[in-house]
Amino acid sequence: MLTPDQVKPLLLHEDRDVRSYASQYFANAGATDTEIVDLSLQALLKYGCSTCGGYHLVYNLRRLPAGPSSVPLFLAALEKLKSEPIQADLNWAMGRLPLETWDQHERAILGSKQVTDETHARIARRRVYGRLDGEQLLVDELNDLAAEEDIDEAAAEDVLEALAAMRFPDSAEFEDMLTGDCEPGEPYHLFLVELAGLRRQKNLVPLMVEYMGMKEYELLQEKAERALALMGDPAAIDLIRTRFLRSSWEFKLYAGGVLGAIHEELAEETILGLLKWERDLKGRCCLCIALGDQFSRAAIEIIQRELQDDAIADEHVRAEFNEILLAMSLALGVGIPRQKELLRWRTAQDKRIQDFEDEMKDRLPMLDALEMEDVDWDDEEDWDREDEFGASPDDFPENLPSPVEPLVAKPQPRPNDPCPCGSGKKFKKCCGTR
pLDDT at 408 over 70: no
pLDDT grade for 433, boundaries at 50, 70 and 90: low
Tens-place pLDDT, residues 254-274: 999 999 999 999 999 999 999
Cβ contacts of 427 within 8 Å, gap of 6 or more: 413, 414, 415, 416, 417, 418, 419, 420
211 to each of 18, 271, 297, how far by Cα in Å?
32, 21, 31
Which of 54-63, 175-184, 226-235 is modeled with the greatest confidence? 226-235
The whole-number average pLDDT for the span 37-48 is 94
SS3 content of the chain, % helix, strand, coil (to 5): 65, 0, 35
**Which bin fits 422, alpha (ψ -120 to 50), beta or left (φ > 0)?**
left
Contacts of residue 376, defined as CB under 8 A and 6 or more positions apart, other chains included, come to 382
Percent of the chain residues past pLDDT 90, beyond the cut: 61
The predicted pLDDT at position 407 comes to: 46
Tell me the average pLDDT across 341-352: 86
pLDDT band (50, 70, 90) for residue 128:
very high
CA distance 94 to 76: 12
Cα maximum dimension of the chain: 74
CA atoms within 13 A on the CB side of 290: 33
pLDDT at 394 (0 to 100): 53
Phi-psi label, residue 426: left if phi above 0, alpha if psi -120 to 50, beta otherwise: beta
DSSP state of 334: -
